Amino acid sequence: MTEKQKRINEILTQKKAKLEYQGKSKDVYALSNGNVLLVFGDSITGTDGKEDPGGNTNIGTKAGLGAKNLEVSTLLYALIGKKLGIPTQNVNADLKNNMLEATRVETLGKGAKFKIGDKTIVGEGLEFISRNKAWGSFLRRHLEARKGAELTDKDGAPLVEVSIKNDEAGDPFFTREQYIKNGCVSEQDFDKATHYTKQITKLLTDTFAKADMELIDMKVEFGKDRKGKILLSDEISPGSMRVLSQGKEMTKDEIYTRLMEHMNIKKRFLTNGIEKGRANATTSISSNGK
């Protein structure tokens, strides 16, 4: 066990955090104040042994990956909160220890049951996947599509597809009408989450372009808090997006480095008061994560 893992375990003990769920990229703990604690890991997800933002299999680990994912996600959520006013579940990030305290939410679509062939699958929630260009699984499902074909509309909004999270079934896609008919999500909630997804993707597309980065596709999740308010949840990190630079697909490390160094995003947002937890950012970064 590494010194960092020992320190994380000590903090979990101090907080009396109770493990609720172990995921592919992070573990979720319950806190006594009603919030949850997300602990980011270093697992790499992929498809057929290769890194893939849409992959459902752990294909290895990379030291420091969890810390980088948390840092990028925290900063992007701050950007989204500040520029778009979209509420997020983030409460406080401890970058040094890969931890994020977050508002407890019920993920949209969690527990939904769908019949596929002779099997009934149960979903862990819905993933809203936005696509600026045809790539990845879109090409596998649309054989007539040309790789790199534009999928945005006349206003520059991306195509949004929604899958139900179920690793065994390969995160199958269904239509808006099927989700609403199923009863796993209301029409109002589905449309609001879709609208948020388009806003977020447009903002990040424009932001990345300033650093010579082309956002191809990405995925986001939403949940509802105790009062029924929809919050942007989970994470937006290098592992949940596909990005090109000069026509070449960027690795997670390259995305992180470009965002941190070329955009100087960390310094810019910290000096704007995000560290102090400004209300319009809905995110704070603890002092030991500078």
Residues of the chain with pLDDT under 70: 44-60, 262-290
What are the CA-CA distances from residue 189 to residues 6, 81, 171, 179, 192 (Å)? 41, 19, 20, 11, 5
Instruction: Say what the pLDDT of residue 25 is.
Output: 85
CA nearest neighbour of 233 among 129, 112, 104: 104
8 Å CB contact between 289 and 94: yes
Sequence ranges of the domains in the chain: 3-277
Q: What is the pLDDT of residue 33?
A: 96
pLDDT at residue 267, rounded to an integer:
54
pLDDT of 36: 97
- The pLDDT value given to residue 64: 85
pLDDT at 42: 83
Q: What is the pLDDT of residue 196?
A: 98
- What pLDDT was estimated at residue 212? 94
Structure tokens at 243: 């990005």
Supply the CATH classification number for the domain 3-277. 3.30.470.20
Report pLDDT for 45. 65
